[in-house]
A and B are shown apart, each in its own frame.
Chain A
Amino acid sequence: MSDTALDITGWTCPAPLRDRPRVVMGHGGGGALSAELVQHLFAPAFGGDVLAQLGDSAALSLGGVRLAFSTDSYVVRPLFFPGGSIGDLAVNGTVNDLAMSGAEAAYLSCGFILEEGVEMPVVARVAEAMGAAARAAGVEVATGDTKVVEAGHGDGIYINTAGIGVIPDGVDLRPQRVVPGDVVIVSGEIGLHGVAIMSVREGLEFGVDVQSDCAALGGLVRSMLEVAPDLHVLRDPTRGGLAASLNEIAAASGTGVVIHEGRVPVPAAVANACAILGLDPLYVANEGKLVAFVPREHADAVLDAMRAHPLGRRATVIGEAVDAHPGLVVARTALGGTRVVDLPIGEQLPRIC
């Protein structure tokens, strides 16, 4: 469709998109622009009750079996970074989307979009990383596809993965189940993946020794559900960071969320990098962390279970769901003040000075 043929007045709810007649990078940033694109353009175009739930993965019922189904695409630069690669991400990201539904990933699909000219050893390294990550996560890559685009039309390698898994009986993880009084737990230190990527990005090397936290969270979720099958909601705070996940849950549940900023585990290297760049760690991406809203009576047991798991050793209670300010996330600052923690608009931009 050409620009002139585009008639946005015919869209179901075009208003929020009208001021952006073209796609900008922020539409993929995991913030407000991304949400608007999905809610006001894709969801109305596709229709369907399952998609309308807008979860990280879709909860389906097929032949009496409850399934979680999810897909994600990976366009990270550079392809290899401290602590992982695009291959690890492509497996762990989709496995984690399924895990946030309580499902253990069983099978993945894998779609490669390769750019003409990419060196074959690079493709092999990525594929080997994917295989190793899949084995570690206990998931099988069952089907795939490969396309090649002309040189200059891609960043070397893009990967899409989709995954499917079974949701155990009695597990019902949805933001709508959050109630005031629920305790908010984060599984460990935040911001590692985003800072690891920034630390090696062209033009931004700042000598920080930070490894991405990229990891599959299925085992950690299993440990949590064993002691508390009635968990209310889980999210992996990837793009948009912890702030985006908390805002999505607050908005979908209609409860307020209060966090204590001083209790959010932020590694010194992440805090320092963010201070230099003018970024807020709450908005920096993670790839191996989850945030859980847990009924208060189960919080101690869940916390103990998490801390007994290698990926949850630094699990910490950071806040709770509240009656007040429904849909809004508020932080108590370390000094005793308060502030709103808003959904990011697009990508965070390093400040000028």
Chain B
Amino acid sequence: MKYIEEFQDPALARRLLDDIHATVTRPWALMEVCGGQTHTIIRHGIDQLLPEQVELIHGPGCPVCVTPLEVIDKALEIASRPDVIFCSFGDMLRVPGTGRDLFQVRSEGGDVRVVYSPLDALRIAQENPKHQVVFFGIGFETTAPPNAMTVHQAKKLDIPNFSLLVSHVRVPPAIEAIMQSPSCRVQGFLAAGHVCSVMGVREYPELAARHRVPIVVTGFEPLDILEGVRRAVRQLERGEHTVDNAYARAVRPEGNPAALAMLEDVFEVTDRAWRGIGVIPDSGWRLSERYRDFDAEHRFSVTGINTREPAECRSGEVLQGLLKPHECEAFGTLCTPRSPLGATMVSSEGACAAYYLYRRLELGTVPAAKTAATAPTAASAPLEASPVV
């Protein structure tokens, strides 16, 4: 765990920043794919410290944000049934479906439980044989292997009252879709390190070559991000476009063979809709034929889903890097974490939530009565001079 402190070292960060400033000669637009990286960038103010020429564009890598509204509405419908115990990771509970969320279902009497592992849901199924126990299996290549293993276990142990509501998505097809967009401005990618720790990097060389973009596998601490930016900028300045692993302490090129074998056994690749973006070919996983009995969508006849996306929500453009959160007219007014229009505002990894939580002061979206004229850096100056500090 010493990694956490070491990878937040201000002196080392300064050296990396100096190197980036010295390297950059012209504007570059990089996309950090993962929402966790977005939050590190905004929470630590990294984008404020980079040269003006380096623009960070926030990518679609927030699993909560990209889960389609239809799937969330299905979850709400299933969770409302009296014989169902619906289990989910915590951050899905506040994501708005059409008109309500899972917290609301729970307050109306639904048995909705927060779990910290899909195996907890399987245990709940064993302990409650008269109930159907459903686990909300969303996320990228990071959460898919444990969910696959849980279904594998359910089949092996013959636990008939467990099922998975699946909405897993894959990163490389999303990168492909972003690069094919006519309005794409992305010139380089910071790939999500935890995804690569599972999948390895074998899917990336072809992408990097075909679209002539550097792809740097990047971790999640502040120094990881700065090193990722540094390597990407260095490649761009040299006209290179290779795959570079800047997260070697966690990522082996071949990935995690055990996790890959589990994915291969339980899931099969399918087209998948991404909330706010649309259907991306081959961008998701579903349970393979052998495990279809454990698919909640097969088990429960979910009908009458009538999804309604708020017309004002432009999170799709945010997810594609076409719009910065504060450029949306609803940002900070109609849409706040308190009353979110879209998942990008409610998810702990959502770009809109990051901007709202950490950046309101500079963006001028502080409530009028509280708006201040002085910049935060100036405000903190007296503290530096304090005799007691």
Contact = CB atoms under 8 A, between A and B. Distances in A.
Interface string B365-382: 010011111111111101
A226 interface: no
Interface stretch (B23-31, B88-96, B173-181): B88-96
A322 B381 CA distance: 10
B108 interface: yes
A328 B104 contact: no
A260 B383 contact: yes
A326 B372 contact: yes
Given A349-B348, A352-B139, A330 B376 contact: yes
Interface residues of B, number: 70
Contacts of A350: 89-91, 114, 116
A128 interface: no
A260 to B, nearest CB: 7
A23 B103 CA distance: 9
A324 B371 CA distance: 8
B300 interface: no
Interface string A1-37: 0000000000000000001101111100000100000
B359 A339 contact: yes
A317 interface: yes
B182 interface: no
A271 B4 CA distance: 8
A337 B49 contact: yes
A194 to B, nearest CB: 15
Interface in B71-105: 89-94, 103-104
Most buried by B among A181, A327, A334, A336: A336
Interface string A307-345: 000000000010110111111101011111111101001
A333 B348 contact: no
Contact of B386 (A20, A32, A268, A320): A320
A351 B349 contact: yes
A268 B379 contact: no
B45 interface: yes
A22 B107 CA distance: 6
Given A32-B338, A204-B116, A340 B358 contact: yes
B120 A339 contact: no
A204 B104 CA distance: 24
B232 to A, nearest CB: 19
Given A338-B361, A351-B348, A181 B49 contact: no
Interface stretch (B5-13, B241-249, B267-275, B313-321): B5-13
B115 interface: yes
B44 interface: yes
Contacts of B256: none
B138 interface: yes
A350 B94 CA distance: 12
Nearest to A303: B388
Interface string B29-63: 00000001000001111111100000000000001
A285 interface: no
Interface string B199-225: 000000000000000000000001000
A305 interface: no
Contacts of B21: none
A40 interface: no
Nearest to B340: A345
B126 interface: no
Contacts of B140: 353
A278 interface: yes
Nearest to A258: B380
B194 A334 contact: no
Contact of B389 (A23, A25, A317, A334): A317
Nearest to A18: B339
A322 B377 CA distance: 11
A353 B376 contact: no
Contacts of A322: 374, 379-380, 382
A181 to B, nearest CB: 7
B307 interface: no
Contacts of A324: 372-376, 378-379
Contact of B383 (A19, A271, A320): A320
A258 B194 CA distance: 34
A25 B349 CA distance: 21
B239 to A, nearest CB: 30
A262 interface: yes
A59 B376 CA distance: 35
B165 interface: no
Contacts of A181: 382
Contact of A336 (B5, B45, B359, B383): B45
A245 to B, nearest CB: 18
A203 B45 contact: no
A352 B379 contact: no
B120 A203 contact: yes
Interface of A: 19-20, 22-26, 32, 181, 183, 203-204, 256, 258, 260, 262-263, 268, 271-272, 275, 278, 296, 299-300, 303, 317, 319-320, 322-328, 330, 332-340, 342, 345-346, 349-353
29 contacts: A20-B104, A24-B107, A183-B386, A204-B116, A272-B4, A296-B388, A299-B386, A300-B388, A303-B388, A317-B388, A320-B382, A322-B380, A324-B375, A325-B374, A325-B376, A327-B369, A328-B372, A335-B8, A335-B10, A335-B45, A335-B222, A337-B45, A337-B47, A338-B377, A345-B337, A351-B89, A351-B91, A352-B139, A353-B143
Given A300-B388, A326-B370, A337-B45, 15 more contacts: A25-B106, A203-B120, A258-B383, A263-B389, A317-B388, A335-B8, A339-B42, A339-B45, A349-B93, A350-B89, A350-B91, A351-B90, A351-B349, A353-B63, A353-B139
Q: Would you list the 4 A-B pairs with minimal beta carbon distance, nearest first?
A: A337-B45, A349-B90, A324-B374, A324-B379
